[in-house]
Amino acid sequence: MEDARRLIEQNDLGEFLPGQQLSARVARSIAERAEQRAAIGQSEGGWRDLRAAASLGGAEGQVDTVRREFVTRALSEAERLVMAGDPQQALACLDRLARHDAEQATTRAGVT
């Protein structure tokens, strides 16, 4: 998938309909991989995949859905940490979320 993404981005294939269609398929595959990574606790890799999928375009709805899932998971983890009496770890969790530019996704998801 990474090779396909690089080829699409480097060769301006997105200017033509077949290239746009290929770009969208690759973006959907990368977004799916992001979701799988999050499910097994590889959130950093998942965030990288989301950025890659978003940069390709054509899968915005799926990227937004997965991004909202990441935000929801992180907020749930922060809440769990606060309830467990570990506010410092909760803040660290929220800092990681902010680092991934998730504030915008949080707003779109309706999470406050």
The DSSP-derived string for 51-92 is HHHHHH-S-HHHHHHHHHHHHHHHHHHHHHHHHTT-HHHHHH
pLDDT of residue 112: 43
Model-level pTM greater than 0.85? no
Count how many domains the chain has.
Answer: 1
Q: pLDDT tens across 8-67, in order?
A: 665 666 676 777 888 889 999 999 999 999 889 898 899 999 988 988 888 899 999 999
Which domain does 71 fall in, by range? 2-109
Angstrom distance (rounded) from CA 90 to CA 40: 20
Q: pLDDT tens across 58-99, in order?
A: 889 999 999 999 999 999 999 999 999 999 999 999 999 988
Angstrom distance (rounded) from CA 52 to CA 48: 6
